[in-house]
Amino acid sequence: MAGWIGAAVLVLVALALFGWALSAWLAFRAMRRWPVVQGKVAITGLDSERRLHRHAARLVHLPTVAYRYEAGGEKHIGSRLANRTVLFEREEEARRFLDALPTGAPVDVRYNPANANEAVLEVRAPALASRIAGGVLCLGGAAALLFA
């Protein structure tokens, strides 16, 4: 009986991981179809913080960029660089990234036509491998519990 319950829990976890991966993939595909308008960099900065990155607490560098753009006949200010967090382990890399975006530089801004306040400069493919691998491992564990 306990094997069935454990297997059911593992199947539910696998379905949740697969659903999370599918949701991220569909959001990525939708963002790639957002309209693109020309914007301008308003201000840049660099923050640093200690966070869990690559399975260890590390100092990471987070570039910040505010940009202006016009969409839907209205002016907007955005600050989201990408649909995934943009961070660098080395400060020099972060500074080079920001050097390519000086104040006043033109940038392509993708914005959500349903909510023009939602915008990004870059759309990156989601990291799905760990979610899918976790789901497959959970299904394997469920099978092992059922057939053991």
In angstroms, the CA 101 to CA 146 distance is 56
How many separate domains does the chain show?
Answer: 2
Cα 78 to chain centroid distance, Å, stands at 16
Q: Which helix (H) or strand (E) holds 55?
A: none
Same domain, 106 and 47: yes
Q: Specify burial of residue 134 (Cβ count, 10 A radius: 0-12, 13-18, 19+).
A: middle
> pTM of this prediction?
0.77
Show the tokens assigned to 11.
Answer: 């199947």
Local mean pLDDT, 10-residue blocks, the chain (148 residues): 82 94 93 96 94 78 96 95 90 96 97 95 90 93 87
Domain with 82 in it? 35-122
- 28 with 81, same domain? no
Does 23 share its domain with 54?
Answer: no
Contact at 8 Å (CB) between 61 and 46? yes
pLDDT of 72 reads 85
- Asked if residue 19 and residue 48 are part of one domain, the reply reads no
Residues 9 and 65 in one domain: no
